[in-house]
Amino acid sequence: MENILEVKNLHVSFDTYGGEVQAVRGVSFDLKKGETLAIVGESGSGKSVTTRALAKLIPSPPGRIKEGEILFEGKDLATLSEREMQKIRGKDISTIFQDPMTSLNPTMKIGTQVMEGLLKHNKISKKEARKRTLELLELVGLPEPEKRIDQYPHQFSGGQRQRIVIAIALACGPKILIADEPTTALDVTIQAQILELMKDIQKKVDSSIIFITHDLGVVANVADRVAVMYAGKIVEIGTADEIFYNPKHPYTWGLLGSMPTLDNEEESLIAIPGSPPDMLNPPIGDAFATRNEYAMEIDFVEQPPMFKVSDTHYAATWLLHEHAPKVEPPLAVQSRMKDNLHANVPEERKKEGDRS
Amino acid sequence: MSNEPNKDLFVMAKDREDTSEKINRPSLTFWQDSWMRLRKNKGALFGMIVLILIVLMAIFGPIFSSHGLDDQDLSLSRMPPKVQGLENFSWLGLDGKNRETFEADTIELAEQRALARFQQPDTEFIEAEVKQEPNNETGELAVVEYAFDKYAAQGVDEYFWFGTDTLGRDLFTRVWLGTRISLLIALVAAFIDMLVGVAYGGISAYFGGRTDTIMQRIIEVLIGIPNLVVVILMIMILDPGIVAIIIALTITGWTGMARIVRGQVLKLKGQEFVLASRTLGASHTRILTKHLIPNTIGLIIINAMFTIPNAIFFEAFLSFIGLGLQAPDTSLGTLINDGFKALQVNPYIMIFPAIVMSLIMIGFNILADGLRDALDPKMRE
Amino acid sequence: MGKYIAKRAGYMLITLFIIATFSFILMKLLPGSPLTAEQKVTAAQRAIIEAKYGLDQPILIQYFKYIGNLVQGDLGVSFQLKNQPVTSILMAGVPVSAQLGIWALFIGTFFGMLLGLLASIKHNTIFDYGANIVSVLGISIPSFIFAGLLQYFVGVKWGLLPIAFWGTPEQMIMPIISLSIFPMAISSRFLRTEMIEVLGSDYMVTAKAKGVSNFALIFKHALRNALIPLITVMGPMAVSLMTGTLVIEQIFSVPGLGEQFTRGVLTNDYSIIMGTTLFFAFFFILVILIIDLLYGIVDPRIRLAGGDD
């Protein structure tokens, strides 16, 4: 399939009083047309920064894209001017943010907020824009759009607000839709509704979606491919099946092991010990080494390169090196890998899983 | 790969100390941390140094001067400021000379005016500097600046650093004594505000319920009464004086503090760490002293710091509208007010107390700003 | 909303009532009465005058009469200027003070907002620091000191503008500038803080992600949200303008309320002092009420919270 976006060796840093915080340290991935790529990682792994950098929404100063390319339709977004970016933002690349309570302008009617992008990027009249807005609000499942289009954000619940935010993002039919933890700030029941909506939209519009989350359960639901990020780098990337059934990186094992399952009572959760490194002074070797029970001496000396597992599956761990001792993932993770299929993976994917 | 890593390194790592959880930054107490951040704030530091200098001068300044507060000597009235060592820098205006520019058709006429102005028979003690020669054709006037050495004319050997006022009193002494009174009024007023406000707000919030409701209704009415009105009414009942001004400033001044303390205590009371402490059986005293007070003290200090310049301003303002301190009491406000009466001829009488007062106000305001940033735990990084 | 207005108005009335009662007690406690200025009055004359002003009646009757008069806007008679009702003396000064105050408010907030807006857009640049210093000075240096310096340098030393009186535009410049410094400083500082906060908020990122231009970001999205809280500093501003007019009018000999007041203080004309004080109290409370209501109108969150609930 055709690549719509290629990110090559992206570095993003923030200049703070304490020094340079290297939030993203050489991230490369591509996004294919119509696919959903999930980026998974714990807080501070650089996943949000990466995607904000794509639309150049990093506040600058203090943030800056230090090096790397963001190729979108042949253009390198990293080198575009602010004015040129304004034409791309909202039209070609749009973003859904995490917290619907704060991501809407409290003193502007929601209709106006949805319309704003439409009027900016399309040569249409206000009347047409309003009509289109009503359609969008309908699409995202906001009840009684006619009545509510002229209301202010505080008159909506969190879930409704997130629907509005999604409507804003969808307004101009973007080629790439970035969803930055769109369900994290919501109640569990509302989360499910918004996820359903996202999947629904995935089918209706042909946008490519980058879905950021720290919740593997969500990933299993929506993603075609998964990238696992740790300490500003992608440590493992592959199709959803590869990541769930054949994970190679100990960090991915940790993530899978820390996911609760319903039907395995006797197994306890495996917690990843420690916390992510300080990005002010990233460690020399593998950033995960100090928390990794499978760490080898090499991990403390040199950063592992991306090892190829299959055409679509890569992982950055020395365990895949030919000299490395043979290591199996912990038993709990192994059984969980299989259990996960039955617990969380939807029907259609379960069949694929059986085949592999 | 060109740089094949060393094969020997592919062995399981020995147990290492997990450093990811290690706390790299030194652990600081709240006050150490605040002080560290305050020190980085150049403005606040500047304000603090200025205030310390002014307080020192208010305490010790009058000692340096050989003149008393009320040593009147009409023969020494309106002496311009003169400071040892600065006599040769005329632009500073501290050389003991009155400088004035006169315009007239001829230089002679200008000179006559200057003599009349300085009440001198001849130009023995007057230096002239012609700024512009008269020109009959273009109609330009003669512009001459005359500098009159009053010290020499009256044979005065003393130095009056800030000059003397219309009654011949040394302004240096009076300015610092006035500063002393102004600071005293402001500090006492701020302290009383703090005491009453903290007690009222604390009680209101800690007991809550009906007590809180009634106490809040009272405050809502009091806050509606403009400060200006209260101060004027109080001054009229009481005889103007230091005590009257302090009472006038504090009678409703504490309401702001009470509101802030109440808000903070209410917020803290509902927070988990207080609930946790209560669940563990902590006594009221312990909750108050270990949780509520330490978490409110920053706000109290900041608010008190903003009260002080406000009190200084009000004291001066009252002097200005004739409701302030009466002679012989002196404050910065009365000094500035006196200076205004002589502003056109002897501006220095107003300028020195005005500068000191402005410095105090600036000092307190920027120090309070700095403290607000430093004490706000949300800003900790 | 209606309930809210009623509640606020109720508090306003209680406050006014307390101030009025307080000032009545004060009038009774204070030395002197309309009679003290009269030198030689016989007992008969005194009785006539007392009867005329109702001073022979029981104190409670006097109090109710006083309150009744107040409600009708009658503030009594000046002690010094006989037969001159306080209300008409005050009313002569009000237009002048209002003119001074409104100009100062308008000019001060306009330039203050301009300064604050520029400082927030150019955050952490030399321009921002400069604006910061200006606002610290403006907040710290009392208006009378500024007025004094202005009067001495611009008026006396350089002779550019007249140093006193009111009427011609030249005469109005210095008093207005002196009085506008505080509103300027406070609105600049406030708008800067608010703007910086708003510019860093999530919904600004949402707007930016829509492709909104920088100009529209600031003027369409940020400014309105930053301006709404500015209404809260209108109260302190109104107070500063009131205290400011008292001294500024005295310094520049502007024949407004402030001058009436200081003359009242000098001549012990208590009824003028009380009248002015009550007028100020009424004005201040009214301003606070209007600000409260305005806040409700401008901020949709408050507006609808009041309407729906």
Residues from chain B contacting residue A18 (CB–CB below 8 Å): 381
For residue B205, give the CATH number of its domain: 1.10.3720.10
Q: Is the dihedral of CA A282, A287, A292, A295 positive or negative?
A: negative
Q: What is the per-residue burial (b if ≥16 Cβ within 10 Å, else e) of A308-347? A: ebeeebbbbbbbbbeebeebebbebbeebbebbbebbbee
pTM of the model: 0.80
Residue A300 has pLDDT above 50, yes or no: yes
* Closest-CA residue to B150 (of B113, B99, B90, B86): B99
The least confident of A243-257, A297-311, B288-302 is A297-311
Residue A348 has what pLDDT? 45
Contact call for residues A117 and A92 (beta carbons, < 8 A)? no
- HSE, CB side, 13 Å, CA atoms: give it for residue A132: 22
C135, amino acid identity: S
Residue B381 has what pLDDT? 35
Assigned domain for B32 exists: no
Whether residues B233 and C140 touch (CB distance < 8 A) is answered with no
> Do B102 and B196 have their domain in common?
no
Report the mean per-residue pLDDT for chain B: 80
The rounded distance, in Å, linking the Cα atoms of C161 and C156 is: 8
Q: Among A297, A303, A327, A328, which would you mutate to test the B interface (most chain B Cβ atoms within 10 Å of its Cβ)? A: A297
The segment with the largest mean pLDDT, out of A37-41, A185-189, B146-150, is A37-41
Assigned domain for B15 exists: no
The least confident of A46-60, B22-36, B302-316 is B22-36
Using the structure block, give the residue that is written with the tokens 């909303």: C1
Interhelix angle for C126-140 vs C169-199, to 10°?
A: 120
CB atoms within 10 A of CB C40: 5
Within 8 A by CB and 6+ apart from B216, the residues are B204, B262
The rounded distance, in Å, linking the Cα atoms of A178 and A55 is: 9
Q: What is the CATH topology of the domain spanning A1-92+174-356?
A: Rossmann fold (3.40.50)
Report the mean per-residue pLDDT for chain A: 81
Residue A343 has what pLDDT? 46
Q: Nearest-CA residue of chain B relative to C156?
A: B344
Residue A285 has pLDDT above 90, yes or no: no
Residue B91 has what pLDDT? 66
Q: What is the per-residue burial (b if ≥16 Cβ within 10 Å, else e) of B316-349? A: bbbbbbbbbbeeebbbbbbbbbbbbeebeebbbb
> Do B96 and B175 have their domain in common?
no
- Taking residues A337-349, report their average pLDDT: 49
Residue C77 has what pLDDT? 75
Whether residues C18 and B232 touch (CB distance < 8 A) is answered with no
Length of chain A: 356
Contact call for residues C244 and B316 (beta carbons, < 8 A)? no
Name the pLDDT band for C308 (thresholds 50, 70, 90): very low
Q: Where are the domains of chain C?
A: 14-71, 94-255
Q: Which of C136, C247, C280 sits opposite B320 (nearest CB)?
A: C247
* Closest-CA residue to A19 (of A62, A52, A48, A57): A62
| Eight-state DSSP code of residue C55 | T
C17 touches chain B (CB under 8 A): no
Name the pLDDT band for C175 (thresholds 50, 70, 90): very high
The least confident of A303-312, B158-167, B307-316, C120-129 is B158-167
Bridge partners, B98 (sequence order): B148
C159 touches chain B (CB under 8 A): no
Whether residues B343 and C156 touch (CB distance < 8 A) is answered with yes
Residues from chain C contacting residue B225 (CB–CB below 8 Å): 15, 18-19, 281
DSSP per-residue letters across A111-180:
HHHHHHHHHHHS---HHHHHHHHHHHHHHTT-S-HHHHTTS-GGGS-HHHHHHHHHHHHHTT--SEEEEE
Residue A339 has what pLDDT? 55
Sheet of A63-72: strand order equals A19-32, A3-16, A63-72, A75-76
Contact call for residues B317 and B244 (beta carbons, < 8 A)? no
C43 touches chain B (CB under 8 A): no
Contact call for residues C174 and C151 (beta carbons, < 8 A)? yes
B336 touches chain C (CB under 8 A): yes
CB atoms within 10 A of CB C15: 22
Range of the structural domain that residue B133 is part of: 84-154
Assigned domain for B178 exists: yes
The rounded distance, in Å, linking the Cα atoms of C147 and C151 is: 6
The least confident of A31-45, A121-135, C32-46 is C32-46
What's domain C94-255's superfamily in CATH? MetI-like (1.10.3720.10)
Residue B50 has what pLDDT? 93
Per residue, what are the HEC states of A269-288?
CCCCCCCCCCCCCCCCCCCC
Residue B99 has what pLDDT? 76
- How large is the ipTM? 0.80
CB atoms within 10 A of CB B239: 9
Interhelix angle for A347-355 vs A331-344, to 10°?
A: 140
The secondary element (H helix, E strand) that includes residue A245 is helix A240-245
> Do B193 and B149 have their domain in common?
no
Whether residues B322 and C273 touch (CB distance < 8 A) is answered with no
Higher pLDDT, B237 or C136: C136
Q: Could you give the 3-state DSSP secondary structure of residue B71?
A: coil
Residue A345 has pLDDT above 60, yes or no: no
Interhelix angle for B293-320 vs B171-207, to 10°?
A: 140
> Do B149 and B206 have their domain in common?
no
Q: Where are the domains of chain A?
A: 1-92+174-356
Residues from chain B contacting residue A289 (CB–CB below 8 Å): 13
B58 touches chain C (CB under 8 A): no
Render pLDDT for B186-203 as a digit per residue (tens, 0 to 9).
999 999 999 999 999 988
Whether residues A277 and B12 touch (CB distance < 8 A) is answered with no
DSSP per-residue letters across A272-340:
PPS-PPPTTS--SS-TTGGG-TT-BGGGGTS---PEESSSS-EE--GGGSTTSPP-PPPHHHHHHHHHH
A327, amino acid identity: V
CA distance B25 to chain C (A): 27
Residue C41 has what pLDDT? 63
Residues from chain C contacting residue B321 (CB–CB below 8 Å): 246-247, 250, 258, 261-262, 265
Q: Among B320, B341, B356, which would you mutate to test the C interface (most chain C Cβ atoms within 10 Å of its Cβ)? A: B320
Q: Count the domains in chain B.
A: 2
B26 touches chain A (CB under 8 A): no
- HSE, CB side, 13 Å, CA atoms: give it for residue A59: 12
Assigned domain for B292 exists: yes
The segment with the largest mean pLDDT, out of A184-188, A266-270, B249-253, C235-239, is B249-253
> Do B194 and B143 have their domain in common?
no
Report the mean per-residue pLDDT for chain C: 81
The least confident of B96-110, B341-355, C24-38, C93-107 is C24-38
> Do B188 and B141 have their domain in common?
no
CA dihedral A315, A321, A326, A327 (to 10 degrees): -30
Subunit partners of chain C (3 or more CB pairs within 8 A): A, B
Whether residues B358 and C136 touch (CB distance < 8 A) is answered with no
Q: Among A298, A302, A320, which would you mutate to test the B interface (most chain B Cβ atoms within 10 Å of its Cβ)? A: A298
Residue C309 has what pLDDT? 31
B227 touches chain C (CB under 8 A): yes
